[in-house]
Amino acid sequence: MFLVMKMKWMGKSEMGKIRIQNIFPLSPMQKGMLFSFVDGTNSCYEQVMITVLGVLDIYLVEKSYNLLLEKHDALRSIFLYEGLQQPVQVILTGRVNLVRYEDLSTLSEEEKELFIAHYRRNDREMGFDLSRGPLVRLSILKVRADEYKIIFSFNHIVIDGWCIGIIVKDFFEIYCALQKKETVIWNTGYSYRDYINWLENQDKAKAQQYWRQYLDGYAKPALPPGAVKNDSQYLRREKEIIIDEELTKKIAIFARKNLLTVNTFFQTIWGILLQLYNKQNDVVFGSVVSGRPYQIAGIENIVGLFINTIPVRVTASPDTTALELLKSVQKSQLSSLDYSYLPLAEIQMESILKNKLFNHVIAFENYPLDKSIKDFSFTHRAGFEVVNVEIEEETGYDFNLLCWFERTMEIKIVYNANAFIEAEIESIGKQLTALAAKVLMTPNILVNDIDLLPDLSNLQFAKKDDEEYGDFCFD
C-alpha cells in the first residue's frame, strides 16, 4: 500500500487497471544511472529510427507494441526513490500504451526533413519521468503512402544498446504474426529479476580486490590524439574508417593462429597507439562489455540493463614484443571478464585517478546492429522492408571507438568536435591501419621500437593461396 501511495500520479481510472506485478532492487549500474539522472548530469537517452518501405497497419502496430511490453517486464518498469531508504524498480501490468502517429505524406520533401529532425529533437528533450513511466515510447511517422519512420525511444536505465536488436526483432515478429492471424507465443520464463538475484550472490569484495590490483600504480591518464580542453556543449561528429578486406583477413588468420580474439588484437593496437601518442608505456582506456552472465538461463533473450564499461590496461616493458603484449592483454581480458559485474563507478574508486581513469571507450561488435536489423528476412512476410536504421545513443564520453568485423573491419569514431581537433581525428585511421599491418608482418618487434606509421605505401604482404577465413575467434 505504501508504494501505491508513492504512485500518486495515477488517476482513479488508471488505479483500477494498472497493477504491481513485481518489486525488486536496482542493479548497481541502475543505481548509478538513477543518481546521475536525478542530479541532472545524464539524460540516459537512446533512440532508434527505422525506415520501412511498405504499408503499416497502425492498429496492429499499437497492438504489437503492447504485446512487446507484455513480453519484457523491464519495459514496464518505473523507479521509485523519493522518501525511500533504497530505490526500487516496480514492474507494472495492465497499462495500455499508445503509439504516437503523425502523417507527413502531404508535406514537401524539405518540410518532411525539417519535421522529422524537429520531432526527434523534441522527443529527446522530452525525457522520461522515472517514477511514472512509461520509459519506452513508440512513434510512427508516415512519410508517404509506402514509407514510414518507426521511432523507438528508451531510457537507458531499463535497457542497454545490446537489447535493441532483441526488442526490434520481437516487435516485427509479433506484428507479422498478428497480420497473418497467427498465435503469438513466447517464453515468459526469463526476467531481469534473475539477473538481480545473480548479482546479489556475487563476491563484491573479491571484485574490488581484483580491480585494485589491476589498476595499482597507474597514475597518469592517457588521452586520444587531438584532445583539447572543452567547456562547450557536446557537438557530435563521426569519422568512419574501413580496414580493407585483405588486411582484415590477415588479422583474422593471425588471431586464430595465436589463439587471440579479434577484439584483443584491436584493443592492443589501440593501446600501442595510445602509448605512442602519450609517450608512456602504460595506458588505460574503457571497454564496453555485454555484462550478460552465461550462468543465467536464457540470458541472451532477457531485456534489461546489463552493459558495463571496464578498464583495459596495456603495459609494455622495454623488452616486450608485440606478440607478447597481445597475449598478455588477452590473458588480462579473460580475467577481467570474471569481475565485469562491478559497476564502473565502483571500479574507478579502486584507482587513485578515480573518475579520471580514462576519458574514452571502445565497443567491439561481431556484427553491426543496424545491419542485423535490416537483415530481418521475416519482415517481407508482413509486406514491408527495412531500408535504413539510425541509432542515437548518449555515452557520456567525448571520444568513442565503435568497431565491427565482417569481410572488412569497420571502425566508427564518434567524438565531440568541441573537445577534439578534427585534423587529428582524421589521421587516426591511417595510423591504426599502418600499425596493424606492422604488427602482422613483424609480431616479434619490440613495442618500444614501434613508431607512428601514417604511410602505407611501403607495406606489402606475402600472399598465400591456402589462407582462408576458417573459424574466427570473437569476444
**Spans of the chain below 70 pLDDT:** 1-16, 40-43, 187-189, 366-382, 394-395, 453-475
Q: What share of the chain is helix, strand, coil (3-state, %, to 5)?
A: 40, 25, 35
d(CA 220, CA 280) in angstroms, rounded, equals 9
Determine if residue 366 is left, alpha or beta; phi over 0 gives left, psi from -120 to 50 gives alpha, anything else beta. Answer: alpha
Q: What beta strand segments (E) does 194-323 contain?
A: 236-243, 282-289, 308-315
Specify the pLDDT at position 184: 82
How far is Cα 250 from Cα 248, in angstroms, rounded to an integer?
A: 5
The average confidence (pLDDT) of the chain is 86
Residue 243 three-state SS: strand
What size, in residues, is the chain?
Answer: 475
Burial class (CB in 10 A: 0-12, 13-18, 19+), 131: middle
Residues 160, 164, 168: CA angle, nearest 5 degrees: 155
How wide is the angle at C-alpha 234 spanned by C-alphas 229 and 239, nearest 5°? 90
Q: What is the pLDDT of residue 472?
A: 32
pLDDT of residue 178: 93
- Coil, strand, or helix at residue 300? helix
What's the DSSP call for residue 354? G
Q: Strand, coil or helix: what is 424?
A: helix
Q: Do 473 and 259 contact (CB within 8 A), yes or no? A: yes
Return the DSSP state at 356.
G
Q: What is the DSSP letter of 321?
A: B
Q: Is 6 exposed, middle or buried (0-12, 13-18, 19+ CB in 10 A)?
A: middle
Half-sphere exposure in the Cβ direction for 384 (13 Å, CA): 24
Query: Can you give the pLDDT at residue 2?
Result: 46
Query: By three-state DSSP, how is residue 371 classified?
Result: helix
pLDDT given for residue 473 in this prediction? 37
| Residue 121 grid coordinates | 529533437
β-partners of residue 310 are 287
What 3-state DSSP class applies to 309?
strand
pLDDT tens-digit readout, 278-325: 999 999 999 999 899 988 988 988 999 998 999 999 999 999 999 999
**Residues 73, 191 contacting (CB under 8 angstroms):** yes
Task: Determine contact, residues 47/121, Cβ cutoff 8 Å.
Answer: no
Q: What integer pLDDT is reported at residue 375 of this predicted model?
A: 62
